[in-house]
Amino acid sequence: MRNGKKRSHCEDSSSSSSSKIDQNKKYHHQRLHIPTASSLPADNHAFPRQNSHHQVMGKRSNFISYGEVSSLPTKVKILCEIIAKTPSLTVERTLEDTGIRVSEVDVEEVLKLSYGYPGTAVKFFRWSGFQLNNKHSPYAWNLVVDLLGKNCLFDSMWDAIKSMRKELLLSVATFTSVFSSYVIANRVQEAILSFEVMDQHGVPKDIVALNSLLRAICREGKTQEAKDYLRIAKEKIRVDAETYEILLEGWEREGDVGRARQTFSEMVIDLGWDKRNMSAYDSFLCTLLKGPDGMHEVLKFFDTMRDRGCYPGMKFLKFSIDECVRKNDAKCAKLIWEEMVGKNICHPDTLLYNSLISLYCNVKDFESAEKLLYEMVYNGAFPDSESYGLLFHSLIKHRRLRDATPIFKEMVKNEFVPMQQDCITAVKTYIDAGDPHMGLKVWRCMIENYSSDLDETGNLLVVGLQDMNRVPEAVKCAEDMIERGIRLSSATLTKLKQSLSKVGKTFVYEELLHKWKSHY
């Protein structure tokens, strides 16, 4: 490493800048370095492009670029291109030469798409300020703070905060960006110390600000550090439901069942049971599902919540049903569903209904599956092709033809087409069961909607009809196959000849043979 010294991750790059102003005006508070000097990078290519909101394990990913946004206004695109492609020393002159006039909204849009070029982006901000009489919007200022922070230019970031303070523009949103930037840079302690000095900048250190800090820390997989600081903060700030929701979401992301239990217990002690804490209950139960005794423990806590009139929400319902499907556990799925959907706690969508229908079909509980299909509309969901298809497939597979028939009829009535393989199976099953009427219905559906792989099923149907002494229908079906170009086999034709000869209708066979030869 240069100078024989390893730089910490995302070290403040502004310390090497060639454009520092008021370098001597610096102060310290609780070991947090907050200089008032303005310092910009000398070369806007010195910083790798990175995502302004997400960074995992210290790895930078790309910021959103103006080139990735479709239908961008021409003015904004031109300004973004100048920022991206012009050297820092000449960017302001180049901007001036365009003759472009900007609005507050233009500045905001350009800044949002210029995170990868902090030096020239800030110079654009200064240039545009002259046009706006130095009246940038609070959002534009916050974007500058975020842009500098996400590029680890913390000296410059704090200088922007100082300027915002003079204009009375600072808010919790500003410091939320600061917290996020420090945590992403793996500098959690400095995020915490930034929170500690908020009130010195005229922004209250209240529960909203504290929750913003905790969310920034937990989002980056550092929930234990957030929990440790909360112990200290609780002595001065009264926590709320969102505080525990943030921590429990953190444990859920990290899959830490033990610490989730501990945090949940603390929440109940501090806040009691409150049905409004649905999101916290969601995260807690979803975390328990990941444990070794997941569903058993979930049901235990679920019963406790229910007895106190408290319920989780849709996220838990989805996760729990998915887990039941994975384990083929229809009993637990039915219990949770009846409690949460039956009591109107949640209104599941079609996708979730389909998951449960699939589970019931897998365990051959067709009665429950059909019940779900017909009750969907009462909960604002509507059966789709998959809803009907899942049930029809299983009923045909298990030869439950009496139940499959009304499902098929309703499916077709609602203009949903069964899968071709299910149609093939259904035709064969209906013919084997001696139900030519339904065999023909499924076949008509099949030939209307599919254009290939029809030969085998068509021949099977013709032979089946003939075997049931329904020769006229077999001949009609054979003629239709020939006209549609579906291959009628010579074996099938021979069988028809035998049946027609027995009843003295050889001439019908001759006509059929003539059509067969002319088409093939």
The per-residue pLDDT for 10 is: 54
The per-residue pLDDT for 44 is: 34
Q: Would the pLDDT of 54 be above 80?
A: no
User: In which residue are the tokens 């013919």 written?
Assistant: 431
pTM (2 d.p.) = 0.77
User: In which residue are the tokens 């980056």 written?
Assistant: 220
The per-residue pLDDT for 57 is: 33
Q: What are the helix (H) ranges across 289-419? A: 294-307, 314-327, 330-340, 350-362, 366-375, 385-397, 401-413
pLDDT digits (tens, 9 = 90+) for 271-307: 999 999 999 999 999 999 988 888 999 999 999 999 9
Structure tokens belonging to residue 271: 């806040």
Q: Write down the domain spans for the chain.
A: 421-519
Confidence of residue 335 (pLDDT cuts 50, 70, 90): very high
| Burial class of 25 by CB neighbour count within 10 A (0 to 12, 13 to 18, 19+) | exposed
How much is the average pLDDT of 401-424?
96
**pLDDT: which is higher, 37 or 275:** 275
Return the CATH class of domain 421-519: mainly alpha
Q: Would the pLDDT of 270 be above 50?
A: yes
Report the C-alpha gap between 11 and 362 in whole angstroms. Answer: 56
Confidence of residue 392 (pLDDT cuts 50, 70, 90): very high
pLDDT digits (tens, 9 = 90+) for 135-151: 999 999 999 999 999 99
Convert 198-267 into a string of H (helix), E (strand) and C (coil).
Answer: HHHHCCCCCHHHHHHHHHHHHHCCCHHHHHHHHHHHCCCCCCCHHHHHHHHHHHHHHCCHHHHHHHHHHH
Mode of pairing for the β-strands spanning 26-29 and 32-35: antiparallel
Q: Would the pLDDT of 17 be above 50?
A: no
Report the C-alpha gap between 175 and 163 in whole angstroms. Answer: 14
Q: Would the pLDDT of 515 be above 60?
A: yes
The mean predicted confidence, pLDDT, of the chain is 87
171: left (phi over 0), alpha (psi -120 to 50) or beta: beta
